[in-house]
Amino acid sequence: MKNETTKPQHSRSRVGKALLATAAVLACLAIGPRDLRAGDGGGLLPGGGDAIGSLPYILELPPEGLTGPTMPSISLEGPSLSAVLSVVVDAWGDGYAQLSSLGNEPGVRVELQGSVSLLLDRNRLPTSGVRIGLDVSQGFSGGLGVVMQKGRVLRTQILPETGDLELPLDTLAASGALDTFGLSFHSYSTSMHHHVLDMVGSGGTIRLSSHP
């Protein structure tokens, strides 16, 4: 993963930022399971266009020519679709956006299925009420999660059987960890399938890239 930060003026500053970023990663990336199970859609009708970025959205079945979920997906949950869209700068890739209600609680859930990239507004994210996660229930439940930075393992953990992994992006971005090195979260299923979520900060945005 490319380092997209500007070159610091002093080596002492660079080392200090690196140490702070690493400490922040180890403290913040206790990425834990959250019970964020979506409802069945319940007649939810999205508004404001027929796509999120360049990704078409659907309510149930994938669009013609696209396969169903086969790997972890990026999830966004918020009080409304407009709240979710307010933090999305762009989205693109070989996939689609799947929309549903949150069942017993008010709000909406958006899952980005397939090999996709998502560009988020890092300034809006902390106050938006939108939660970002990784749904590993699609063949990766109970597998292994590995947090890596520049090829170095920072943390390992067991993936949850149900629910999402919460991604504390606003905290990580505030620590400088995403700008300094970027992070990648590797998921391994019990049958040894592999998925990667790259997380990189640049200026006022955070880019997530989901791919095998």
* pLDDT 10s digits, 129-145: 999 999 999 889 999 99
Q: Which two tokens stand for residue 85?
A: 């869209």
Helices (H), the chain: 11-28, 81-87, 125-128, 169-175, 177-180
Q: What is the pLDDT of residues 145-161, one digit of tens each?
A: 999 999 999 999 999 88
- Residue pair 116/77 in contact (Cβ under 8 Å)? The answer is no
> Which conformational region is residue 159 in: left (phi greater than 0), alpha (psi within -120 to 50 degrees), or beta?
beta
Nearest residue to 50 (alpha-carbon basis) of 39, 58, 42:
58
Mean pLDDT of the region 106-133 = 94
Question: Per-domain residue ranges for the chain?
Answer: 35-211
Cα dist. 18→131, 156, 184 in Å? 27, 20, 16
Considering the entire predicted model, what is its pTM? Answer: 0.75
